[in-house]
Amino acid sequence: MRIDFHRHLEGSHSARALLLVAKKFQLQDPLFFQAGVYRTEAELAPLLQMQGEAGNASTFYTAIETARRAYVSPEAIAALTYESFIDSAAEVDALEMRVSLFSMTRTLFGVKWRHVEPMTFAEKSREVLIGLIDARDRAEKTTHKKLLVRLGLSRTFESETHYRAMASVIREHASALCGLDVLGILSGPDKEPLQPGLVAIIDTLRDVLGDLTIHAGEFEDHRSVDRALALSPRGIGHGVRALGSDATLQTLRDHGVTLEVCPSSNQLLIPEVVAELRQSEHGKHPICALHDHGVFAVLGSDDPVPMSTSFTTEWKLATELGVNPERLASDSERRWEQLAG
């Protein structure tokens, strides 16, 4: 099976999907609407992609913010979610999509979101989440494919009171989700922190959403992976810098944790790290090296629209990099069984 294990909804909004939603909801934002007419897909597509040199994460976030300009209502988000699932499902047998409910809700309230009462914020997040789940369900019926949703919590952790209020909504709809994810990067000296308040909220949800994944070992070294492993996740997003520590690799093996490797994303965001890892691993790409070290590793497309890739591209790239197809298939089947078996 071709399964995309690491894909973010906010990085999956194609020009086709965005223009369809813009027209349906009569959005006249200049991104979509110029001189009295809507842009064509060919005109919009380049505006959704990362601009500038590789290695600059800010260009990635700029591209994500650009697509969020269609987040004008829960109904618009739901419509865009459906179309994004349709696009995503076209090239895979199944997939897992990560959704950042907090950022979507915050976008709806605009710059004054901090002044919104936490329970009011949570009620709006409920509208968004219900729309997301309904869109996923409709997309499953349309495509006849299994489409999972994982709820992402950002380590930026802008407001603990708002996060806690939103957590009650997540709990109510946990049966429609496959797990939790910790995502996001910070600009300070520690780019992949795990703040105690965020960890406490995750702990309150583990009884209903036990499958935890954590982005780690991408912008920080193997110690970031070690810190994530202390929370007993089933998966690590990226995690390629675990290759810097034999002890970390051993812990990954001992606990059967799966790393979700996204080759194009890593090449765009951490090209120097990838080069260093390949040098230390005798030229092998990190996903190949991880397999050689006995670590479970699967493929993801991450944020394909701004990164100008697709799961088909990632699959082809993995083959060109020398990934053992039987090992990749075995690891994928094992992880999918954990998620949907």
Q: What is the pLDDT of residue 53?
A: 81
Instruction: Assess whether pLDDT exceeds 90 at residue 56.
Output: no
The C-alpha R_g of the chain, in whole angstroms, comes to: 19
Buried b (16+ CB within 10 A) or exposed e, 127-148: bbbbbbbebbeebeeebebbbb
Q: What is the pLDDT of residues 301-312, one digit of tens each?
A: 999 999 999 999
* Dist. CA 6–CA 151, nearest whole Å: 12
Q: What is the pLDDT of residues 249-279, one digit of tens each?
A: 999 999 999 999 999 999 999 999 999 999 9
Q: Tell whether pTM > 0.95.
A: yes
Q: Is 229 exposed, middle or buried (0-12, 13-18, 19+ CB in 10 A)?
A: buried
State the average pLDDT over residues 76-98: 98
Q: What is the pLDDT of residues 149-189, one digit of tens each?
A: 999 999 999 999 999 999 999 999 999 999 999 999 998 89
Instruction: Assess whether pLDDT exceeds 90 at residue 55.
Output: no
Percent of the chain, pLDDT > 90?
97
Number of other CB atoms surrounding residue 227 within 10 Å: 17
* Dist. CA 231–CA 132, nearest whole Å: 27
* Dist. CA 236–CA 238, nearest whole Å: 6
**Domains of the chain, first to last:** 3-340 (3.20.20.140)
Backbone angles phi, psi at 337, to 5 degrees: -60, -40
Q: What is the pLDDT of residues 114-129, one digit of tens each?
A: 999 999 999 999 999 9
Q: What is the pLDDT of residue 205?
A: 98
Q: Which of 56, 65, 8 is nearest to 31 (CA)?
A: 65
Q: What is the pLDDT of residues 7-46, one digit of tens each?
A: 999 999 999 999 999 999 999 999 999 999 999 999 999 9
Spatial contact of 280 and 289, defined as CB atoms under 8 Å apart: no
Q: What is the pLDDT of residue 52?
A: 81
Q: What is the pLDDT of residues 127-141, one digit of tens each?
A: 999 999 999 999 999
* Dist. CA 283–CA 278, nearest whole Å: 5
Instruction: Assess whether pLDDT exceeds 90 at residue 318.
Output: yes
Instruction: Assess whether pLDDT exceeds 90 at residue 79.
Output: yes
Q: What is the pLDDT of residues 191-216, one digit of tens each?
A: 999 999 999 999 999 999 999 999 99
Banded pLDDT at 147 (limits 50, 70, 90): very high
Instruction: Assess whether pLDDT exceeds 80 at residue 341.
Output: no
* Dist. CA 325–CA 333, nearest whole Å: 12
State the average pLDDT over residues 282-289: 96
Task: For strands 179-183 and 146-154, give the pairing.
Answer: parallel
